[in-house]
A and B are shown apart, each in its own frame.
Chain A
């Protein structure tokens, strides 16, 4: 059988398959990463507040579709100061949206009481506890419903007024990354 070679670079006017050197894209397939935004933040923010205050860590994204998903990952660097001995130290965090969307995108555990997954307990009497650590969190925002810019801000609260947290302590950074995923 005779083999006929086509010049696909010139002879095809529609989308060129990837096997022929094209992009293969006629639309964005579900699960395709549409864009990534990233923040590296190293300004120290300290709190002894039992209500949510900003950690200073934010990341902004402008969705290309109202029904896309926004997958977020953030890592908080924190130094904990137990201001009394033999005391539990911890913090809880949440992520709120502003701009094109509002409301909470993520919260470790709403309400009061045991809503802290990052904590440390010192049982050594007379010893002041200090601890530096990183904690990572993830969330999936499926309800933004906008193509306007959204800013995601990380808020945190401490477990009691007898302790304090320094986020981005000594300019060690926290990071926040957002992926827009096609649906």
Chain B
């Protein structure tokens, strides 16, 4: 299931970096995604749960997932 999600995200915005626990099946799940906004000096991802990509709305991603 996560394959479809990642594929949908990539189709809308290639090279998007993110991580999450469990599956992304609802808008509530979507709000819990950790979006990468950089890497620190130790190689750790700097993340935020505030979606920094305006084109990656839940509606757009879900629509893309439904096409796959």
Stretch from A22-30, A58-66, A136-144, A158-166 forming part of the interface with B: A158-166
Q: Is B49 an interface residue (CB 8 A)?
A: no
Contact B43 A51 (CB under 8 A): yes
A32 and B21 alpha carbons, distance in the complex (Å)? 38
Q: Which residues of B contact A46 (CB under 8 A)?
A: 2, 6, 19-21
Q: Distance (Å) between the CB of A49 and the closest chain B CB?
A: 4
A103-145: CB near B (< 8 Å → 1, else 0) gives 0100000100000000000000000001000000000000000
A51 and B17 alpha carbons, distance in the complex (Å)? 9
Q: Is B52 an interface residue (CB 8 A)?
A: no
Interface residues on B, range: 20 to 34
Chain B, 21-57, CB within 8 A of any chain A CB = 21-23, 34, 36, 38-40, 42-47
Contact A50 B39 (CB under 8 A): yes
Contact A51 B2 (CB under 8 A): no
Q: Which residues of B contact A157 (CB under 8 A)?
A: 43, 45
Q: Distance (Å) between the CB of A96 and the closest chain B CB?
A: 9
Q: Which of B3, B38, B42 has the most CB of A within 10 A?
A: B3
Given A53-B45, A157-B45: A48 and B21 interface contact (C-beta under 8 Å) = no
Q: Which residues of A contact B9 (CB under 8 A)?
A: 48
B-binding residues in A (CB < 8 A): 43-53, 56, 81, 83-84, 94, 104, 110, 130, 155, 157, 160-162, 164, 166
